[in-house]
Amino acid sequence: MLEQGDVRFFVMTDAERLIRNFARVVASAPYALAPERADELQEAVFEGESWTLALEEGPAQATARVDRREIVVTFAALLGLWAVARAAMIAGVEAIAASRADRRILDSGPNSPMAEALALIAAAEALIRDPCAAWPDGLPHPDAAAPEGSDDWRVNNVFLGAVGWICLHEVAHIHLGHEPDTTDALRRRQENEADSWATRWVLDRAPPDLRREFRVFAIAAGLAWIALVDKVRRGSLTHPHAWERLGHCAQVFGTEELSPGLELSTHAMKACFFPHDPIEDFETPQEAFFGTLFAASRLPR
């Protein structure tokens, strides 16, 4: 039915067209990220009741509607998260190969992998500015049916991990009985509490191997997308900045100095915020992570 208003909302956006095939796996993402706690999530947190995860058109964001027992994620948020997940994977692989070969600058010339990563980050930013933004020609499309073990399948795993953590953050607000209408100071504290809760949920019983490192990287990829939201929307008083949030989460990561999850996360952060700077020569991935986080947190808001 066409009425007055923004006619674009009556036509399927690129965001919906390109990401709707993920609807089923997105709904199970909070369970799939920490499968060892899936039953506990259903019984202890959701108290056996059914919650829905609704995918909608609208500004790029995830929210909880407590009265309707519903978590809402928009198509623009999902496609942007997929783009950041893919860019993070590309940047991680490229930067690790470069630093092993003693190269400090990543080639971002035409048709290079880094050029694609930067175009993906720009596309995610465009979707934050306008959820109806057209997906650029020449960029790959998400493939929900990517065969297991393929690069696209790995990207899907990082994407769904990031979505799962963001949904668990929303679950935490509800589970911890947070007040949506309160002082700015208390809202900031609630954000940190929800981040810690979601991060602990995902990591506390994770197998102590690469699966745990993968989860760290997925959380960082989710926060890298949130940092782009902060950059485009110029942050807010009620939410701590994404990089402060990542620093806060890192206190519960419990990762080792040589953590591959931290190493990949560092390069993802750098690709989003200082892609053309040389790769700095840090002693360990942990030092590089906190050094890069510190540099990112000093960028103008």
Nearer to Zn ion, 150 or 182 (CB): 182
- Residue 242 CB, nearest approach to Zn ion (Å): 12
Contact predicate 162/82, CB 8 Å: no
Nearer to Zn ion, 48 or 177 (CB): 177
Residues 34-63, interacting with Zn ion (CB under 5 A): none
Residues 187-216, interacting with Zn ion (CB under 5 A): 191, 194
- Per-residue binding string, Zn ion, 222-261, x by CB under 5 A, is ----------------------------------------
- Residue 194 CB, nearest approach to Zn ion (Å): 5
- Residue 185 CB, nearest approach to Zn ion (Å): 15
Nearer to Zn ion, 212 or 239 (CB): 239
Residues 106-165, interacting with Zn ion (CB under 5 A): none
- Residue 195 CB, nearest approach to Zn ion (Å): 8
Nearer to Zn ion, 4 or 251 (CB): 251
Given the rule CB under 5 A, which of 92-100, 118-126, 184-192, 208-216 is the region that contacts Zn ion?
A: 184-192
Nearer to Zn ion, 94 or 191 (CB): 191
How many residues lie near Zn ion (CB under 5 A)?
A: 2
Give the residues lining the site for Zn ion (CB under 5 A).
191, 194
